[in-house]
Amino acid sequence: MPTLPALHVERSSVSGAYPPLPATWATQVTAGYCPGMQAIRDAILAGAPGEELAALPLPEAYRAAFVRLDETEMFEGLSSDEKDPRKSLHVGEVAVPELAPDECFIAVMASAINFNTVWTSIFEPLPTFGFLARLGKESVWGARHDLPYHVVGSDASGVVLRTGSAVRNWKAGDRVVIHCNYVDDQDPSAHDDSMLAANQRIWGFETNFGGLADLSVVKANQLMPKPEHLSWEEAACNALCNSTSYRMLVSKNGADMKQGDVVLVWGATGGLGGYAVQYVLNGGGIPVGVVSSASKIKLLEALGCEAAIDRAAKAYRFWVDEHTQDESEWRRFGKDIRAVAGEDPDIVFEHPGRQTMGASVFVAKRGGTVVTCAATSGYMIEYDNRHLWMKLKQIKSSHFANYREAWDANRLIALGAIQPILSVVYPLEEVGEAAQQVHGNLHEGKIGVLCLAPSEGLGIANPELREKVGEERITAFRRLGA
Ligand code: NAP
């Protein structure tokens, strides 16, 4: 492994600015584990008990994927499509931070790519360093996050290594998955629905020390038990998208889907959509999956989603030009939905944003709900309000999930009622390529990333449940993906 100086960077006390990063630092790919992390990994793989793990020394540095503050303008003048995460996402050694009393160090066995890592790596809509600076001003512990590098990643599976003095329910050796709702539980606004907390953040996107790394720092209230019939990478890929889809469809905070509901799911084999389709089927609804290739239609059929639309083959042109939408195309889309599902959707599961929102509002049933959590194709949304109010439709916003919702969604994974949608796995060194696949919409389901886990298929501790759920169902996206 090339030895890079582990970086402890402090702002100048005079100017408040960071010193320039060493030119060599973080531009080299670190091809192995940092020495101390290797011993931790070996102990985990050998099944060492918690006391033994807790006694192992923590290294000063760990391997992580990050973007650099001094590169936030590297894509200036390029279109979004031309901005390449392979150029901006680095893998190198960073310093292990101090642990706050309510936090844990996690030895990360595997992680996954989420679209938020794509946003961070192309510095859109804004560089995420602004989030870190804001967090840095909140408290002495928050100040640790304000660094000239941002360790990204909002999903992980792994093992608890150390717990802060205020952590009660978890101990070294616990095998966990991490959800990304980062909330200060001493804030009263966090005590109804914690997604409404004034300082709610997404770990690894709006905080530093994320999951695409060999080590991570998380709050104890982000931990959930690892579903033990799954491998490290199968367990790591779920929490963010699965919990988001759960809140959007199942929770009373979302669309509160009921039996028989027709649910139009955009991107039905993507990260969110792959879980959404399962929730609709489990809940007695009728999913109508929209995808963009014949192979994805086949994948939907294999998942039990009989009503599907290939938007590429149909070549919808919802927008005539940059400023004008075409209602006749919305109408054509609505007819196609009726042709496959027999009626209009009670719920539209929205996330593409600007390109589709006009159509989504139009095709929803009278009194129906459009539930939205994102705007991949643009966040300045336009729809015809007459179709909303005259037909008493509603648009419901949703964002990730509170701890309870994430816990309940994880429980469904652990019971084998919802399956991971892992399609492919990359080593941490190739995180840029993995993010580029998602950026280019070249993937299906979730892309996993191996961190401390040396190979795929490790970490299954409940083979009996795995057999009961069925290898075919658990690995459907791996086997059937294009
Ligand atoms: P993903 O894995 O890339 O899947 C999204 C799918 O949407 C794509 O595979 C594509 O499927 C479809 N799509 C993309 N652009 C489209 C367009 N212009 N028109 C129609 N369909 C389009 O991403 P994801 O993980 O599902 O996330 C989707 C979005 O939600 C991202 O913007 C992400 O940042 C956001 N998100 C938000 C939250 C939250 O808590 N607020 C949580 C997770 C994700 P086809 O090409 O097959 O149609």
430-453 pLDDT per residue, tens:
999 999 999 999 999 999 999 999
User: Is residue 204 located within the same domain as residue 265?
Assistant: no
User: Is residue 260 located within the same domain as residue 149?
Assistant: no
Distance 114 CA to ligand 1 centre (A): 10
pLDDT in tens, 287-308: 999 999 999 999 999 999 999 9
Please say which residue of 348, 380, 397 terminates a domain: 397
Q: Residue 328 pLDDT > 60, yes or no?
A: yes
User: Is residue 393 located within the same domain as residue 414?
Assistant: no
Q: Residue 28 pLDDT > 80, yes or no?
A: no
Question: Among the listed ranges 1-15, 176-190, 263-277, 302-316, which one has the minimum average pLDDT value?
Answer: 1-15
Please say which residue of 341, 372, 397 terminates a domain: 397
Nearest residue by C-alpha to atom 43 in ligand 1 = 241
User: Is residue 232 located within the same domain as residue 331?
Assistant: no
For position 269, what pLDDT does the model report?
98
Q: Which atom of ligand 1 is nearest to the CA of 118?
A: 34
Average pLDDT, the chain: 94
Strands 347-350, 262-265: pairing kind: parallel
User: Is residue 387 located within the same domain as residue 442?
Assistant: no
**CATH number where 39 lies:** 3.90.180.10
Distance 373 CA to ligand 1 centre (A): 10
CA–CA gap between residue 477 and residue 482 (Å, rounded): 9
For the chain, what is the domain count? 2
Residue 29 lies in a domain: no
For position 317, what pLDDT does the model report?
98
Q: Which domain holds residue 217?
A: 35-238+402-480
Distance 291 CA to ligand 1 centre (A): 11
Nearest residue by C-alpha to atom 9 in ligand 1 = 270
Residues with beta carbon inside 6 Å of ligand 1? 114-116, 240-241, 244, 266-267, 269-273, 290-292, 296, 311, 351-352, 355-356, 373-374, 376-377, 399-400, 438, 441
Distance 288 CA to ligand 1 centre (A): 16
CA–CA gap between residue 261 and residue 167 (Å, rounded): 42
Integer angstrom CA distances of residue 122 from 38, 71, 84, 407? 31, 10, 7, 31
Residue 363 lies in a domain: yes
User: Is residue 47 located within the same domain as residue 138?
Assistant: yes
Mean pLDDT of 108-112: 98
For position 470, what pLDDT does the model report?
97
DSSP state of 182: E
User: Is residue 54 located within the same domain as residue 196?
Assistant: yes
Residue 428 φ then ψ, to 5°: -55, -35
Question: Among the listed ranges 10-19, 93-102, 163-172, 226-235, which one has the minimum average pLDDT value?
Answer: 10-19
Residue 26 lies in a domain: no
pLDDT in tens, 129-154: 999 999 999 999 999 999 999 999 99
Residue 140 lies in a domain: yes
Residue 393 lies in a domain: yes
User: Is residue 279 located within the same domain as residue 389?
Assistant: yes
Which amino acid is located at 224 in the chain?
M
User: Is residue 276 located within the same domain as residue 169?
Assistant: no
**CATH number where 338 lies:** 3.40.50.720
Residue 245 lies in a domain: no
User: Is residue 101 located within the same domain as residue 64?
Assistant: yes
Q: Residue 20 pLDDT > 50, yes or no?
A: no
CA–CA gap between residue 66 and residue 194 (Å, rounded): 28
For position 25, what pLDDT does the model report?
46
Please say which residue of 371, 397, 423 terminates a domain: 397
Residue 279 lies in a domain: yes
Residue 105 φ then ψ, to 5°: -90, 135
Q: Binning pLDDT at 50, 70 and 90, where does residue 482 land?
A: low
Q: Residue 10 pLDDT > 60, yes or no?
A: no
Mean pLDDT of 264-286: 98
Strands 319-321, 156-163: pairing kind: unpaired
Full-model pTM: 0.95
Q: Binning pLDDT at 50, 70 and 90, where does residue 35 land?
A: confident
Q: Residue 16 pLDDT > 90, yes or no?
A: no
Mean pLDDT of 102-120: 98
Distance 155 CA to ligand 1 centre (A): 17
Question: Could you tell me if 149 and 7 are in contact, meaning their C-beta atoms sit under 8 angstroms apart?
Answer: yes
Residue 25 lies in a domain: no
Q: Binning pLDDT at 50, 70 and 90, where does residue 2 land?
A: very low
User: Is residue 193 located within the same domain as residue 61?
Assistant: yes
Nearest residue by C-alpha to atom 25 in ligand 1 = 271
Q: Residue 29 pLDDT > 60, yes or no?
A: no
Nearest residue by C-alpha to atom 15 in ligand 1 = 352
User: Is residue 376 located within the same domain as residue 423?
Assistant: no
Mean pLDDT of 372-384: 97
Percent of the chain at pLDDT above 70? Answer: 93
Distance 267 CA to ligand 1 centre (A): 6
Strand (E) or helix (H) holding 44: helix 35-45
Distance 464 CA to ligand 1 centre (A): 34
For position 14, what pLDDT does the model report?
47
